[in-house]
């Protein structure tokens, strides 16, 4: 069946994940939560940051988790209500500040223009919050290309449950087998399978190496820049 829609992961797929989130997490922990510098590095490493490479490990909490999962990891001593309040603070007040560090992986408008010319419906599916994702896409001036931007808080269960593909299909009228899921993490490929997507496309522009993710995907590309050519060839 022909692909009629593309659902993109955000971090590591459209924007540079380490350059965007490492400085934001350091700033947040120091300024908003008064964490000592030495403890900040311990917390980052616990979340999956590798100081030797300056990157997040593939599949780690900081690479692929939701805000709630990060809060549970970093502040397990908080009550459920306190954790909920902290998640809200991060999602609504702190995470949107990531736009000051955001680095697109390429000239995104060129890719999106070509995909739109092919008649494809486009969306974003991220374990970031909707508000944060929207702020970043607005900042990059690419929000208008997307039919829907889906955050972890847009669905009952975030990636890799398949709910984001279900949500996208429900809003666009497409069938899951008409949707390609594109991402840089194993969670994205699992989302594709769980949601019944017609195509799972891995990109190597994030923190996953070929050996980490290619076996989970139908196709593996260096970046989304190669996606239009792939879809034309199918």
DSSP 8-class letter at 126 = -
For 73, other C-beta atoms within 10 Å of its C-beta total 16
- Please write the tens of the pLDDT for every residue from 97-144: 998 999 999 999 999 999 999 999 999 999 999 999 999 999 999 999
Q: Please, is 214 exposed, middle or buried when counting C-beta atoms within 10 Å of its C-beta (0-12, 13-18, 19+)?
A: middle
Shared-domain flag, residues 215 and 195: yes
- Structural domain boundaries, residue 129: 5-16+103-233
Q: What are the helix and strand counts (H, E) for the chain?
A: 11, 8
pTM above 0.75, yes or no: yes
- Please write the tens of the pLDDT for every residue from 2-47: 999 999 999 999 999 999 999 999 999 999 999 999 999 999 999 9
| Closest listed residue to residue 179, CA positions, set 195, 194, 190 | 195
The encoded tokens of residue 152 equal: 């972890």
Shared-domain flag, residues 172 and 224: yes
Q: What is the pLDDT of residue 4?
A: 98
- Please write the tens of the pLDDT for every residue from 39-65: 999 999 999 999 999 999 999 999 999
Domain boundary among 100, 123, 140: 100
Domain boundary among 43, 73, 100: 100
- Please write the tens of the pLDDT for every residue from 148-170: 999 999 999 999 999 999 999 99
Domain boundary among 47, 71, 100: 100
pLDDT higher than 80, residue 1:
no
């Amino acid at each position: 069946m022909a692909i009629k829609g593309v659902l993109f992961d955000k971090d590591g797929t459209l924007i540079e994940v380490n350059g965007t989130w490492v400085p934001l997490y350091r700033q947040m922990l120091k300024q908003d939560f008064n964490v000592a510098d030495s403890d900040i590095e311990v917390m980052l490493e616990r979340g999956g940051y590798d100081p030797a490479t300056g990157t997040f490990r593939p599949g780690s909490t900081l690479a692929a988790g939701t805000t709630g999962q990060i809060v549970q990891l970093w502040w397990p001593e908080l009550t459920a209500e306190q954790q909920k309040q902290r998640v809200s603070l991060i999602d609504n007040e702190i995470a949107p500040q990531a736009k000051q560090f955001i680095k697109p992986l390429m000239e995104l408008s060129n890719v999106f223009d070509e995909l739109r010319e092919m008649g494809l419906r486009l969306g974003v599916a991220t374990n970031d919050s909707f508000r944060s994702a929207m702020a970043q896409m607005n900042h990059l001036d690419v929000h208008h290309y997307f039919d829907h931007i889906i955050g972890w808080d847009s669905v009952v269960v975030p990636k890799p449950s398949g709910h984001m593909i279900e949500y996208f299909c429900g809003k666009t009228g497409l069938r899951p087998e008409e949707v390609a899921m594109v991402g840089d993490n194993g969670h994205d490929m699992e989302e594709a399978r769980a949601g019944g997507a017609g195509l799972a496309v891995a990109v190597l522009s994030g923190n996953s190496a070929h050996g980490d993710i290619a076996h989970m995907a139908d196709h593996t590309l260096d970046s989304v820049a190669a996606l239009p050519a792939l879809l034309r060839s199918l």
